[in-house]
Chain A
């Protein structure tokens, strides 16, 4: 699997490259800014780009803008955005741009298996949303909060769905059988009154969208 790495910190870039190489990825290019990233992507056509959100020249959200640009030019190419801190609106923005995206805290590279799994998932057109983003969205106060009606298991399943994991992954994660997980997933959608999506990406999007603006999607009476 071919990877392009973009991060202005050479130390981290080298580290991540070593990690990925050790896990069987082929790191075809390492760059330090968004412009070089776009050029490398054009030249190498990798399966996935792993991009630091904050790069020169402005050190704000160059990586995010580049990720959107890559998604526009190459809809099939995966983009995983890494950041020192998270904004849930960026996660939703990225997912709305199409399949094959991820948005993780940078320190997630410390869990080799989780991280490489996320890179593979994104490269394969799946999603990877940081658990921290999901947790924040779940904490949001809602006027009438159907999330409160979920059982503990159901809430765990909802969080894992929101992180972009498939039923199979959820099954493995929670040590449950596939049938039980399917039941939980169905219950979650029913209780939250959102349509169940057959596709993992659209499922993540639906769940995140629900969590982000609860009062509208949950069929609450309009505010005011």
Chain B
């Protein structure tokens, strides 16, 4: 119903009531008799307008309003003395029941699923029309205004009326059976949705059937009680329906609460459970879209198939910032309230985006760490290769050269030309210096002792070769993971090289301690200080190497206050 139709329905309802009151006062009719029906009619119109305002696309509001208007108009028309108007008023009453049957069958927002259901939806309207010739005489035998119509006590009228009653009975039984089956087949979530309409309609249907049976003269054991029950159920129907609307409203408020919770932190019992609670659907599943493999997975990573439509499951796609992030799989019964599902999907999108960003950051971080580890490993491998090449190539050749020169010198001993001996001595000395330089270079490239004997012996060897005296203390016993040993070794090696080059230190201390799963390495000197990890390319490279192992490197080097290089490495 559009806003205008809603306003028109409300205006019509008020007009009917006003007309009834005016007519009743003018004719001095007993108004009390009409009041229950007026109230019920107003409630129906009110519920219809409210339902329509909430879900304009749904038929529920229109059907409720139609019932209410039919009855209000029925009451209003029956205040007229004109026989045609009076009869029309009487005929409108059964016509008001037809939208209710219709509503019960299609609620919350479905289409009749079989020819039988389509027939059952149409039947009440048809029967209401077919009742017109007999409805007046059948409704009131002793009314002050005599209605038009066939006499139902005899002849054609009786036959018509009896046939009509049987047809109504069949239709009512059909409706009741369909409603019972719908209820029986419904999931818990669907029953929650059906609750405001179907159980009431079913009960009314039973009472109505009892009434028809009584009218047909069959004993029901209820007497006139059915009418009381039926009227009570009809009166309650709009109230129950409005209750359903309020509950749905509260459910949306629950989504709001969920969004607030998600903003603070992920719900403790998991996003899926929080969403299931907000939507009131324990069967709800949350599927994460993985673009790289183009499929959906659960939070645990298990693949999820989106159910084919019509299997009682519905899918709401979750988008965030124009990107598809996942899907909600929920009980189709909840489609009655698409706004609620949309709200929950939006909340899910917010939380999933957060989760996704968090996960993505973690993945990227791990990728960066892994690539840094690979870079370090590749550099180490390259260093080993260069050291090996030096050893097998240049170093061997220089030794061979030294050997040849040495043998030449030995041959020339006592020779008349001392200048040649001097030149050979010079060649020999140069070769020795070259070998020394190569040795230092090779040693720095790949410390063989480290791999063979471990950190302690390798650091002892480093300390021995340091020009400044080194006090070494290694309390970490046993072997450590190779990357940790290598990093610790290079840190000490680089720090000692810096001490030799820049620090002008008279004493150096090297401490290596293991505390739990942390290895602490500290190199301190009493030199001039002023070293900077950024300017020193050696230390900068080491910082990268240490960071690749999730460790940290600190350099404390105040001018004139010595230098302290501290490294902490996880070694668990």
Contacts and interface: CB of A to CB of B under 8 A. Distances in A.
Contact of B469 (A9, A12, A15, A139): A139
B398 interface: yes
Given A59-B388, A106-B399, A107-B398, A87 B461 contact: yes
Interface in A71-116: 84-85, 87-89, 106-107, 109-113, 115
B464 A141 contact: no
Contacts of A110: 399, 402-403, 405-406, 428, 431-432
Q: Identify whether the interface residues of A are mostly helix, strand, loop, or mixed.
A: helix
Contacts of B78: none
A15 B403 contact: yes
Interface string B445-472: 0001101110001001101110001110
A37 to B, nearest CB: 18
B139 interface: no
A67 B409 CA distance: 31
Contacts of A60: 448, 451-452
A214 B522 CA distance: 23
B482 to A, nearest CB: 14
A84 B442 contact: yes
Contact of B400 (A15, A85, A111): A15
**Interface size, A (range):** 20 to 34
A87 B400 contact: no
Nearest to B432: A107
A89 B457 contact: yes
Given A9-B396, A15-B403, A60-B452, A137 B464 contact: yes
A22 B409 CA distance: 13
B397 A11 contact: yes
Contacts of A15: 400, 403-404, 407
Closest 7 CB pairs of A and B: A110-B402, A141-B469, A110-B406, A112-B410, A136-B464, A15-B403, A9-B396
Interface string B135-172: 00000000000000000000000000000000000000
Contacts, number: 87
Contact of A9 (B392, B431, B448, B471): B392
A18 interface: yes
Contact of A140 (B403, B448, B469): B469
Interface residues of B, number: 39
Interface in A42-77: 54, 59-61
Contacts of B2: none
A140 B465 CA distance: 9
Contact of B406 (A112, A137, A140): A112
B439 interface: yes
Nearest to B384: A59
Contact of B407 (A18, A54, A84): A18
Contacts of B220: none
B403 A16 contact: yes
B452 A61 contact: yes
Interface in B543-567: none
A185 to B, nearest CB: 25
A12 B400 contact: yes
A106 B400 CA distance: 10
A86 B298 CA distance: 60
A129 B398 CA distance: 22
A29 interface: no
Given A110-B431, A140-B464, 20 more contacts: A9-B392, A11-B396, A16-B403, A19-B403, A19-B407, A60-B451, A85-B439, A85-B443, A87-B461, A89-B461, A107-B398, A107-B431, A107-B435, A109-B402, A109-B406, A110-B432, A115-B406, A136-B465, A139-B464, A139-B469
Nearest to A114: B406
A88 B453 CA distance: 13
B467 to A, nearest CB: 8
16 contacts: A9-B400, A16-B403, A60-B448, A60-B451, A84-B395, A85-B439, A85-B442, A87-B449, A87-B461, A88-B464, A89-B461, A106-B399, A107-B398, A107-B435, A112-B410, A140-B464
